Amino acid sequence: MMDVSVMNFRGIDKAEFLLSNIILLAGPNGVGKTSICLAVAAAFSQQAIPFLQMSDKGKVATTITKAESGRMVRTGYETGGVRLRDGESETQILWPQCDVKTKGKPPTASVYATGLLSVLNLPPKEQVRALADLIKAIPSADEMKASFMEAGMSEKAALDTVERVLVNGWDAIAEAAKTHGAKLKGQWETYTGESYGSAKGATWLPMGWEDVIAQMSDETLTNALANAKQALETRIASEAVSASLVEELQKKAAEIPVLTSEGERQAITWRGAQKDCEDARKAHAAAVAALPMVEVGGAMAEPLACPHCKKKVAFKDGGLVKVAARAAAVEPAPEAVAAVEAMRAKVAECRELVNLTGRKAAAEQRNLSDIEYRLREAHNADAKAKNLLAKPPADPRPVEAFRDEVRLCESRVEAKRKKEGADRAHASIAANQAYVNLLMPDGLRKRKLLRALDDFNTRLAELCTKAAYKLVSVDEDMAIRYGGRSYYLLSASEQYRVRAIFQIAFAFADGAPVVILDGADILDADGRNGMFTLLGQLDIVAVVGMTMNKPEQVPDLERAAIGVSYWMADGRIREIKEAAQAQ
Ligand SMILES: Nc1ncnc2c1ncn2[C@@H]1O[C@H](COP(=O)(O)OP(=O)(O)OP(=O)(O)O)[C@@H](O)[C@H]1O
Ligand SMILES: [Mg+2]
């Protein structure tokens, strides 16, 4: 059984009571109902200064400083305090020291269950964050990992990202992912020279793109380029070779007329030389024939001997004739000797001429065949040149066509490089954007929140049914409604019902043993009955503050067996039955 003791806190002098079922604090204005509610809330939430607000940045702060906390002590006293006991465990707060002392494991409740803060009063962004926290809508590490992998991350990268989210927080990692996305866009823009857009990124094609390029491997394209370059080089080389070759051949062919006439002249010269030679031979033969057939003394050589009779013989008219024996005895006449000598000289001279003219004729013949050879060469060259000029090269296209082919291959290689680079960057951007979307406040966290909201709405519906209230619900867009109407449109008492239902729901979500509902006098009879009916059915302590003018107007919860009603006066608290008797 829990009990509370409050001393010299705000308007309270001294108040002690047990905490069970419903505690109704009733009394006129300014008697200390709220003071007790705040002291109990301070003890359960272990907040020494129970005046809280939430900043735009989601930080819970006290509205008074610790230095100002003395103002919470009842005027005229040095110290005040609250003590919450639950068996052996205890929480004690002393003011103005703001000391929170605990013993054992005292019961605790969140600032939302105790009513020190209401999500309904938070700035919209913080409302989402606080709701997420309260209904346990924060994705677990396993859920995070699964979602990242679903978005395309590897298991290792997903685990790494989970780790970084847990260490640095969602927003820091979302920012880092966004920065990475900007870098990837930069890469895409480098490839394309254009500014990135996700639709553009999905369909972008480089200049000169042909669908056929997509089917070609990098190797095919670079090989085609190398081949085109080679073909161009070969084409340029063959052009140069054939041009110089034709020029050379034509130069040779130009000698044909000169060589032809030179050849004709040389043929005449050669025939002349042959004739001279022929004449010389004839002259020689004549000179030899004219030689005498008889021996002419010692001036002549020994006559030949006949092979049969051994008599002296000599050649005459192709046959042998006998040489007269007496002739040997005859001294030849000197005139005859001189004539023979002259004839012999003539023979030698003729032989010399035969040799000379023979050599000359041979030389002229060589000259002629030389000219004829050169003429044949010239004719060959002429034919070759004509042939070359008439016959087209292996690939007859002009060099410029080869250059165009090289350019085409180059532009294909370049287009593929750009397309693939841009596509890669685009895919990375899309994947990264998927992570960013998950990491943003409205990403994975919101998705989990929506699932948790389903459960939460179910609980809210149960509570509202028990209180016979209209349905309190939270939309998918986090708008809070009562009977389908937006919170800000509701009457003050309707808003109170919503806050009360939320508080109870949060107390359950937290496992808090208490809920504190001050200012319940705003509710009419039906509203109060509904609330008490609801609280009476819950396994939780409720502290309810309610302005009442007279003790007899206060509902007796003890008689209804759902709690205890108290009457407050002069900073003190009394059970309603005692207060009624006192009057
Ligand atoms: N430090 C303090 N010393 C003495 N009285 C204080 C101090 N602080 C606040 N009070 C007064 O204590 C009284 C009780 O205030 P409290 O808010 O508890 O009243 P209440 O019963 O909730 O009134 P209401 O019906 O208006 O809500 C008030 O008159 C208030 O001005
Ligand atoms: Mg009050």
- Counting runs of H as helices and runs of E as strands, what totals does the chain give? 15, 18
Per cent of the chain over pLDDT 70 is 92
Cα 30 to ligand 2 centre (Å): 7
pLDDT of residue 467: 97
User: Does residue 273 register a pLDDT over 50?
Assistant: yes
pLDDT tens per residue, range 186-241: 999 999 999 999 999 999 999 889 999 989 999 999 999 999 999 999 888 887 77
Considering only CA atoms, which residue is closest to atom 20 of ligand 1? 30
Region 433-462: mean pLDDT is: 90
Q: Which ligand 1 atom sits closest to the C-alpha of 72?
A: 1
Looking from the CA of residue 547, the nearest atom of ligand 1 is 25
Is any atom of ligand 1 closer than 6 Å to the C-beta of 448?
A: no
Q: Quick one: pLDDT at residue 514?
A: 97
Q: Which helix (H) or strand (E) holds 486?
A: strand 485-486
- 521 CB near ligand 1 (under 6 Å): no
The whole-angstrom separation of Cα 331 and Cα 87 is: 193
Convert the pLDDT of each residue in 287-311 to its tens digit. Answer: 998 887 644 444 444 455 555 666 6
Average pLDDT over residues 244-258: 92
Whole-number Cα distances in Å, 491 to 258, 500, 503: 128, 14, 18
Model confidence pLDDT, tens digit, residues 27-38: 999 999 999 999
Closest CA to 164 of 152, 176, 155: 176
Q: Could you give the residue ranges of the DSSP H alpha helices within 440-521?
A: 444-467, 492-510
Expressed in angstroms and rounded, the spacing between residue 64 Cα and the centre of ligand 1 is 16
pTM of the model: 0.59
Determine the Cα–Cα distance for residues 135 and 449; give it in Å rounded to an integer. 8
Give the tens place of pLDDT for each residue, 145-178: 999 999 889 999 999 999 999 999 999 999 999 9
Q: Does any ligand 1 atom lie closer than 6 A to the CB of residue 34?
A: yes
Q: Which ligand has the nearest atom to the CA of 71?
A: 1
Nearest CA to ligand 1 atom 7: 10
Residue among 572, 570, 568 nearest 14 (CA)? 572
- Tell the residue nearest (CA) to atom 25 of ligand 1: 29
Ligand that lies nearest to the alpha carbon of residue 30, given by its number in the listed order: 1
Give the pLDDT confidence of 134-148 residue by residue, as tens digits. 777 788 899 999 999
**Which distant-in-sequence residues (6+ apart) come within 8 Å of 320 by Cβ?**
304, 306, 313, 314
How many percent of the chain have pLDDT more than 90?
Answer: 73
* CB 10 near ligand 1, within 6 Å: yes
**Nearest CA, atom 19, ligand 1:** 30
**Residue among 564, 502, 507 nearest 538 (CA):** 507
Residue 59: C-alpha distances to residues 47, 54, 126, 169 (Å): 15, 6, 9, 15
Q: Taking 80 as the threshold, does the pLDDT of residue 575 lie above it?
A: yes
Q: What is the pLDDT of residue 426?
A: 96
Q: Find out whether 481 and 487 touch, Cβ atoms under 8 Å.
A: yes
Question: Which ligand does the CA of 31 lie closest to?
Answer: 1
**Measured from the CB, is residue 357 less than 6 Å from ligand 1?**
no
Average pLDDT, the chain: 90
Residue linked to tokens 């359950």: 508
Query: Token pair 């006293």 is at which residue?
Result: 77
Give the mean pLDDT of 520-533: 96
pLDDT of residue 299: 41
Q: H/E/C letters for each residue in 257-300?
A: HHHHHHHHHHHHHHHHHHHHHHHHHHHHHHHHHHCCCCCCHHHC
Query: Does the pLDDT at position 394 exceed 80?
Result: no
Contact 14, 81 (CB under 8 A): no
SS3 346: helix
Give the Å distance between the CA of 39 and the centre of ligand 2: 12
pLDDT band of 329, cuts 50, 70, 90: low
Mean pLDDT for the stretch of residues 489-494: 97
- Can you tell me which atom of ligand 1 is nearest the CA of 27? 21
Ligand 1 centroid, distance to 6 Cα (angstroms) = 14
Cα 400 from Cα 407, distance rounded (Å)? 10
